[in-house]
Amino acid sequence: MSLWDDTKQGMESPSLGKELDDLEIYKSNLLLYSMVDRAYERWDDVVAKFAEVAPIEERLAQACRDANLIPKMRTHQLSAASCWAKAGNFHRAVLLADEMLADPDLDDRYRERMEGLRARWKERRATLIKTLDTEDEIGDTLGKSVK
């Protein structure tokens, strides 16, 4: 049906066993449903889905590493980091990006992409801390004035 010879082109992605294959379907559905949640601006639901998907992606990445499926492992690693960031856990996202970037075999295009993402997540993390500090100062000041 296609000119694509899928025994030769594309990325190798054999079964990881029923449990992990089912988990992959489950997390893909969560990501699809999050698209609709986003459309309706149901942000709590969106964040909850990303927070659920992120550790699944980490588990799938580990399974791919164990099976020596390195290109597929990287797709799960990237997705795990990205999902953690979308769930608001920039610290975990940056750690995963560090781990990917420490791999000397990482492709240049991938490296460039990950460096860009890591810089953005670090910036967001710093902004978050600054914002929380500012709010704490206001809270402290208010607390002192009440005393």
Which of 8/144 has CB closer to another protein? 8
**Smallest separation, CB 92 to another protein (Å):** 15
Q: How far from 61 is each of 57, 65, 66, 100, CA to CA, in Å?
A: 6, 6, 9, 11
- Tell me: does residue 10 bind another protein (CB under 8 A): yes
Helix 43-66 and helix 70-86: axis angle, to 10°?
160
Q: Which of 17, 29, 126, 133 binds another protein (CB under 8 A)?
A: 29
* Residues 107, 111, 113, 114, CA torsion sign: positive
Residue 17 engages another protein in binding (rule: CB under 8 A): no
Residue 98 lies near another protein (rule: CB under 8 A): no
For another protein, the binding residue among 9, 44, 145, 146 (CB under 8 A) is: 9
CA 1, 18, 53, 113 torsion-angle sign: negative
Q: Does 1 bind another protein (CB under 8 A)?
A: yes
- Shortest spacing between CB 134 and another protein, in angstroms: 30
Collapsing DSSP to helix, strand or coil, 112 comes out as helix
Task: Specify the stretch interacting with another protein by CB under 8 A; choose among 28-36, 44-52, 91-99, 135-143.
Answer: 28-36
Nearest to 79, CA basis, from 87, 48, 7: 87
CA distance 89 to 81: 9
Binding site for another protein (CB under 8 A): 1-15, 24-25, 27-29, 31-33, 35-36, 39-40, 71-72, 75, 78-79, 82, 107, 109-110, 112-113, 117
